[in-house]
Structure 1
Amino acid sequence: MARFLKSRDKVLGKSLDDVVFIGSQKVDKPFISVVSYSAQELTEAECHSPLDCAAYLDSDHVTWISVYGLHDTSFIQQFARGLNLHPLVLEDVVNTGQHPKMDDYDDTIYLVLKSLRFNPETESVLSDQYSMIIGANVLVTFHEQPMEMFKPIRERLRKGKGRTRKRGTDYLAYVLLDTIVDNYIVTIENLGSRIEEIDDSIFKDFDQEVVSTITRYKREVSYLRKTIRPVKDLIGQLIKVDSNLISEETMPFFKDLHGLTIQAVEVLETYREMLSDSLNTYNTIVSNRLNEIMKVLTIFAAIFIPLTFIAGIYGTNFEYLPELRYKYSYFVFWGVLVAVAALMLRFFKKKGWL
């Protein structure tokens, strides 16, 4: 399936009531993980039915509900009815090709973006869609599959470290978004370290494989730009949103996160320019090498022009050529050829053409 634009053939002619999953299945069976906490206590549970989560929705504690697996639309619909989700939110949740954005629904804030990771074996960027609904006491996240990056957050919540247990859902949303953006930086660093090695390989290993590598990296950088640039705008919108769901205490953290996304976008632009410069450098080297080859071939051709002329004269079939009867004609002929070639080489060297 294409990364830049997912096919929407399945939704052609469908209404909002017809929930259609767009993407690929990444878990065998959907499930729900719940973490409910306050400054003093924490409860964890795993629900295999959306109805099992109903008791947590009215809790006074901060509740983080994680839904894993988006392919089972009936499961997602059942869960969405319990939360009274807007039909457009439900459509965006199950569309894994959704463009990163933020929607303010007064009593909730909906965010959708991509989580990224770098595959060192294929040197490619892999992504998963990540949706988030911020409520007063409930934060709901939708995942295509479990993510390793969030394990440290769960561990900190269990141990009560940091300020997360003392804050509301807005701060938990910041922590999750910060982890995703930090992972953007790590992904960019992993890809960037390989991009920075290209210049050396251009001069050391001059072959067509370099062009293939540059083209592959340009494709990955383009995908990163498509994914991360909208997140910068998303965080910018979140900073300006007029909602009671985002407290004044948490707003500086989102502003700092916005600065981090700006930095990520700027680094991507730098790597994009580096790849373009590397490709231009490669083409320049190819052109210079071709020019050197053509210069050598031209010099050889220029040397052999008078030699061919002399040989052509004495290769004619005229019956009378006085030089042919001379005893040392053959040696004189070679001497003239060598002398002409030597004089021409000396002339070329004096002109700086060699």
Structure 2
Amino acid sequence: MPGESAFPEAQRFAPYVLVYSYDATAVTVRRYDVLGAGDPVLAAGKVNWVRVVGVHDEAFVRAVGNRFSLHPLLVEDVLSTGHRPVLEEYDTGLFVLLRQLGYNESAKRVLAEQVSLVAADGYVLTFQEREANIWDGLASKLEKGGCKLARRGREHLTHALVAAILDEYILTLGRLAEDIEELEQTILSGGGSETLTETYRLKREVLFLHRSLWPLREVLGRYLVDDSGAADPGVAFLWNDIRQDVYQVLDAVETLREMLSEMVGLSMTKAELRMNAVGQYLTLVATIFLPLNFLVGFFGMNFDNLPLKSETWGLYALIGFMGLTTLGMAVYFYRKHWLENTKVD
């Protein structure tokens, strides 16, 4: 179901820490599979991206939290996956908790992974559930040393990490929109009852996207208002850019919600039209048989002096009259264009 761990498989790798230390001239990468006293080590005078890969080992995550003097509540948020988006300021720095989204094309499901970020003096600390995620591309660019980010500071790294997640939201929405448009064409071409079930399923997926993003819009708004007087103009510009990205994604989510709501209404309307067509068809059949039932009932009465009863050709005359009655009513209905409106998909 939407909202549960979208990557439900158990993590089977041992958690580790990658530290990317960079400035305008060089980038170094160090890996820590085991944390000793004082690990991971941060490079002085450089921007340090401390990337914790795997949060399923509680002891390992708490060791990282102790190393960076993280607030206990912050560590609990990191360990407990499934939270709503959070943006809070602690004594140790800024804490951002988000859902990284993906899309499973075969199952047509929105996938979610909780990621966390702590931005403080001299470092940016991130936590991720899976061994591989969308930050791999950013890390690869840093290692090559050719990206503009290597010549910028911690604030730009924070912005790049959050922006990468929001970019993935847009890609996920694009794939989801393709499936919704395909389903819409199926409904318009006369899809069966299973299309309504699929529409409701996709509607739940879009609702999950909305729940994942709407709180972020609120917390970003409060953060920018509270920090507007003291924040550096450049930093404020970066966070405003993130807020605009969130608004853009939310607008796209709202569009998809409206599309799905209209599709549900369209499916219900088509179902009602089919039921009306069936009812009209049955009504016409009953109307045609009504005079036939009258004739059969009339000549079936137990009286000896009924017309045609004593004649040898009476039965054939009655059958012929019934046939002409049926044909006449059918021609009348056809000329009234009633028979053309009784097609049932």
Tell me what 1:190 maps to.
Answer: 175
Tell me what 1:124 maps to.
Answer: 109
Tell me what 1:310 maps to.
Answer: 295
1:252 to 212, 237, 241: 237
Matched-pair contact (CA < 8 Å) for 1:27–1:69? no
Tell me what 1:105 maps to.
Answer: 90
1:59 to 44, 47, 58: 44
Cα distance, 1:55 vs. partner? 5.9
Tell me what 2:67 maps to.
Answer: 82
Matched-pair contact (CA < 8 Å) for 1:27–1:144? no
Residue 50 of structure 1 aligns with an amino acid whose one-letter code is L
Evaluate the alpha carbon distance shift between residue 305 and residue 34 of structure 1 in structure 2; reply closer, same or farther with a 3 A threshold. Answer: same
Cα distance, 1:302 vs. partner? 1.0
Give the distance between the partners of 1:171 and 1:272, measured in 2 at CA.
33
Evaluate the alpha carbon distance shift between residue 243 and residue 75 of structure 1 in structure 2; reply closer, same or farther with a 3 A threshold. Answer: farther
Matched-pair contact (CA < 8 Å) for 2:70–2:92? no
What is the DSSP-based 3-state SS (H/G/I as helix, E as strand, rest coil) of the residue aligned with 2:234? coil
Cα distance, 1:241 vs. partner? 4.9
Evaluate the alpha carbon distance shift between residue 205 and residue 288 of structure 1 in structure 2; reply closer, same or farther with a 3 A threshold. Answer: closer
Evaluate the alpha carbon distance shift between residue 204 and residue 340 of structure 1 in structure 2; reply closer, same or farther with a 3 A threshold. Answer: same
What is the DSSP-based 3-state SS (H/G/I as helix, E as strand, rest coil) of the residue aligned with 2:127? strand
Aligned residue pairs, count? 337
Cα distance, 1:352 vs. partner? 4.5
RMSD: 2.4
Evaluate the alpha carbon distance shift between residue 322 and residue 349 of structure 1 in structure 2; reply closer, same or farther with a 3 A threshold. Answer: closer
TM-score (norm 2): 0.90
Ranges in structure 2 where 5+ consecutive residues have no aligned partner: 340-345
Residue 260 of structure 2 aligns with an amino acid whose one-letter code is L
Give the distance between the partners of 1:144 and 1:55, measured in 2 at CA.
19
Tell me what 2:249 maps to.
Answer: 264
Matched-pair contact (CA < 8 Å) for 1:24–1:71? no
Matched-pair contact (CA < 8 Å) for 1:134–1:245? no
1:45 to 16, 19, 30: 30
1:253-278 residue CA offsets vs partner (Å, 9 max, x unmatched):
32122111111111111111111111
1:25-57 residue CA offsets vs partner (Å, 9 max, x unmatched):
424211111111111121101012333663634
Matched-pair contact (CA < 8 Å) for 2:69–2:92? no
Matched-pair contact (CA < 8 Å) for 1:27–1:145? no
1:286-325 residue CA offsets vs partner (Å, 9 max, x unmatched):
1111111211111111111111111112122334435222
2:134 to 140, 145, 149: 149
Check if 1:208 corresponds to 2:193.
yes
Give the distance between the partners of 2:121 and 2:297, measured in 1 at CA.
98
Evaluate the alpha carbon distance shift between residue 55 and residue 243 of structure 1 in structure 2; reply closer, same or farther with a 3 A threshold. Answer: farther
Residue 122 of structure 2 aligns with an amino acid whose one-letter code is N
Cα distance, 1:164 vs. partner? 1.4
Cα distance, 1:75 vs. partner? 1.4
Ranges in structure 1 where 5+ consecutive residues have no aligned partner: 7-22
Matched-pair contact (CA < 8 Å) for 1:34–1:64? yes
1:321 to 287, 303, 306: 306
Cα distance, 1:350 vs. partner? 5.0
Residue 68 of structure 2 aligns with an amino acid whose one-letter code is L
Tell me what 1:4 maps to.
Answer: 3
Equivalent runs, 1:266-305 vs 2, <5 Å:
266-305=251-290
Give the distance between the partners of 1:246 and 1:5, measured in 2 at CA.
36
What is the DSSP-based 3-state SS (H/G/I as helix, E as strand, rest coil) of the residue aligned with 1:197? helix
